[in-house]
């Protein structure tokens, strides 16, 4: 059985902050992330079942094939600091995201080229009770490989490892 959906938490890093880039050989599961000193991940928490990560195959007119990574994250910004983090995400050109799906598998999206923000509606005040007030950010990356699988052992061990990289 396979459950759909992703966890409410995800981690963001920047390719330019990596001291060792991710391998594109798909030789095995990635077990660690190496940053330059004073760099690391930023952890974001949204609402359960609010984020979405997709991959699509693409063929250019010249015949080249790529894999398009897409991310749609929904976050609640309640402070000026939250607003600053949203702006930073929107301005990023080399962002990768580590997400956990509801099957307890972890994947690194946009590991080689990094995500860029896709323009679109960002937030609404809502018109009626119960409308979604979360900020929605969409990202896209054209990559030559699918998302990389990531594991630091057990599910909890992987979460603990990722949290230890948060700056």
Query: Strand order of the sheet with strand 106-109?
Result: 42-45, 6-14, 95-101, 106-109, 148-150
Q: What is the pTM of this model?
A: 0.90
Structure tokens at 73: 């994250």
Mean pLDDT, rounded, for 27-51: 92
DSSP state of 156: H
**121-133 mean pLDDT:** 69
pLDDT value of residue 89:
93
- How many angstroms separate the CA atoms of 20 and 38, rounded? 15
Round to the nearest angstrom and report the end-to-end CA distance of the chain: 36
User: Torsion angle, CA of 110/115/120/125, rounded to 10 degrees?
Assistant: 90
Distance CA 20, CA 164 (A): 18
Mean pLDDT, the chain, integer: 91
Q: Check residue 40 and give its pLDDT.
A: 95
pLDDT of 43 reads 94
What pLDDT score was predicted for residue 131? 65
CA 110 to CA 70: how far, in whole Å?
Answer: 8
* pLDDT of the residue at 4: 85
> Distance (Å, rounded) from C-alpha 164 to C-alpha 154?
15
97 pLDDT more than 80: yes
Would you say 74 and 84 are in contact if contact means Cβ atoms under 8 Å apart?
Answer: no
């Amino acid at each position: 059985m396979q459950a759909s959906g992703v966890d409410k938490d995800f981690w963001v890093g920047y390719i330019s902050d990596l001291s060792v880039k991710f391998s594109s050989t798909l030789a095995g599961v990635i077990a660690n992330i190496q940053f330059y000193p004073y760099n690391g991940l930023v952890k974001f928490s949204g609402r359960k079942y609010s984020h979405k990560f997709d991959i699509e195959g693409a063929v250019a007119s010249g015949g080249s094939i790529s894999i398009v990574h897409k991310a749609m994250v929904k976050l609640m910004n309640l402070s000026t600091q939250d607003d600053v983090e949203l702006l930073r995400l929107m301005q990023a050109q080399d962002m990768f995201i580590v997400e956990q799906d509801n099957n307890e598998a972890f994947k690194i999206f946009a590991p080689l080229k990094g995500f860029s923000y896709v323009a679109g509606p960002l937030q609404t005040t809502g018109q009626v009770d119960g409308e979604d007030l979360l900020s929605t950010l969409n990202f896209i990356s054209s990559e030559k490989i699918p998302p990389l699988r990531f594991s630091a052992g057990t599910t909890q061990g992987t979460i603990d490892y990722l949290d230890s990289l948060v700056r």
